[in-house]
Structure 1
Amino acid sequence: MSLNAQALNTATFAELLAETHHTAVHMEMRDVYAVGDEAEDFETFLRTGIPNLDPARSFWPHWMPLVQDAVARGVVMRRARIVSEPVTDYIRYEHAITPLNLQAGEDVRWLPRRHASDIALPGNDFWLLDERLVQFHHFTGTGGWAADGKERTTDPAAVALCATAFETVWERAVPHEKYTVQAL
C-alpha cells in the first residue's frame, strides 16, 4: 500500500480498499453486533422474520459499490464468520441478509465456534488487506462500536497471525449456500 503512516491512520476504509490490489478478507467472531446503521432493519427482522434485502436500504448503498469496485479491479473479497450454535437472533438476521454480500461480490463462509477451538485467533474482528494491513475492530460488550472503534497496523506479527487465522477458518468453514442456521 502506498499510504504513509499518517495517512494509514486517517484514511477511510473506502480509501484503504481503493488501495487494495489482491485480497481483502474479513473475520467476524462476535455473536451479537449492535451497530446503529442496522438497528431498524434488525428490529423489523425480529418482529417479522423477514430480512430487508433491498440494496438501496440501510448501509448497503455505501457498501455494495465499494465491494463491486474492488472485485471489478480483481480484488478477491472473502468474509468468514465464527458463530456459536444455536445461533443468536442477530446471527439469524446476519445470515438472512448475507445474499446482499454475495450480490456485491463477496464470498462468505460460516464456521461453528466448536470447530475453532484449536485455532489461534486474534482478540478482535479484523480486515486484512493485501496481507499487509490489518484493521482491527473494537466493540463494546453489547456489540456497539467502542470509542476507539478501529486500530490499524502493518506489524508483520499481527499480519501473520490474522492471515493464518483467516485461512485456517476459511478452510474449515461452510460456504454460505450450504450453512443452515440453528436457532435458539
Structure 2
Amino acid sequence: MEAGEDIRWLPRHTVPDDLVFPFGGKDWWLIDDRLLAMGHTEAGRVTGHEIIDAPKGSHEAVALRNALWPLAIPHGEYRP
C-alpha cells in the first residue's frame, strides 16, 4: 500500500450467489494485470503458490476483478 497499491478484500460470503469462480475456486492474486499467483491448499492449509504467466488466465482474472472491485472492501477499512 505504501507503494501505491490498492489492496482490497472480498469475503466469500459477500460474493454474488450466481458467480462461479475460475481457477477451481482457489485464492489468487493478480499482479500488474498479467501474472497470477495461485494459492495451493491442502486440508485448509496453504501448501504453496504458483506463478502463472498465461494471457488466458490473466484475462479471466482481470475481468473478474473488474466486476467485483466495487464490492470489495479497501484494506484499511477491512475488519475480519
Fold-level similarity (TM above 0.5): yes
What is the CA-CA distance between 1:121 and the residue it aligns to?
Answer: 1.9
Unmatched segments (≥5 aa) in structure 2: none
Structure 1 counterpart of 2:28, from 126, 148, 167: 126
Answer yes or no: is 1:150 the counterpart of 2:49: yes
**Contact 2:9–2:72 (8 Å) recurs in 1:** yes
Q: How many residues align?
A: 77
Counterpart position of 1:162: 61
Aligned-residue identity in percent: 27
Q: Which has the higher strand share?
A: 2
Encode CA deviations 1:126-175: one digit per residue, 9 max, x unaligned: 1111101111011123x2112xx111111111101111112212122355
Counterpart position of 1:137: 39
Q: For CA contacts below 8 A with separation 6 or more, give which structure has more relative contact order.
A: 2
Name which one, 1 or 2, has greater alpha-carbon Rg. 1
SS at match of 1:121: coil
**Structure 1 stretches of at least 4 aligned residues deviating more than 4 Å after TM superposition:** none
In structure 2, distance between residues paired with 1:138 and 1:171: 26
TM-score, length of structure 1 as denominator length: 0.36
TM-score, length of structure 2 as denominator length: 0.71
